[in-house]
């Protein structure tokens, strides 16, 4: 195998290895694996603050991630309206 053929092969194997560590597919159904992929894409497409907040709560499913994101966005709107005090998600301090 020349170097040009080796690099794609190595990259493909690295991706497969990383996915297997991340997803840990053993014992999971296809539906559960697809839900993990969907959740990852969903979180990636959220705004940065919302994404961080949802990740901190470690959702196990897409539905849970969606509920967390919606809760965060409602709370953010309440902060803008002056109904709540905003908390710094990194340090737990009021802003």
Query: Is the entire prediction scored with pTM above 0.75?
Result: no
Tens of pLDDT along 13-46? 988 888 777 777 778 888 888 888 888 889 888 8
Structure-block tokens of residue 36: 């993990």
- Does the structure show a pLDDT above 50 at 63? yes
What percent of the residues of the chain are helix, what percent strand, and what percent coil, each to the nearest 5? 70, 0, 30
- Does the structure show a pLDDT above 90 at 83? no
87: helix, coil or strand?
A: strand
- Segments forming the whole domain that contains residue 75: 28-95
52 Cβ contact list (under 8 Å, min separation 6): 89
Domain assignment of residue 22, yes or no: no
Phi/psi of residue 87, nearest 5 degrees: -110, 140
Considering its fold, how many domains does the chain have in total? 1
Domain assignment of residue 19, yes or no: no
Contact criterion met (CB below 8 Å) for 21 and 14: no
Domain assignment of residue 15, yes or no: no
């Amino acid at each position: 195998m020349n170097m040009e053929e080796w690099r794609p092969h190595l990259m493909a194997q690295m991706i497969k290895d990383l996915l297997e560590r991340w997803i840990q597919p053993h014992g999971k159904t296809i539906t559960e694996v697809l839900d993990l992929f969907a959740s990852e894409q969903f979180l990636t497409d959220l705004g940065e603050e919302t994404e961080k907040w949802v990740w901190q709560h470690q959702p196990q499913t897409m539905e849970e991630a969606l509920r967390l994101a919606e809760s965060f966005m409602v709370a953010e709107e309440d902060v803008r309206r002056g109904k709540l005090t905003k908390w710094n998600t990194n340090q737990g301090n009021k802003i």
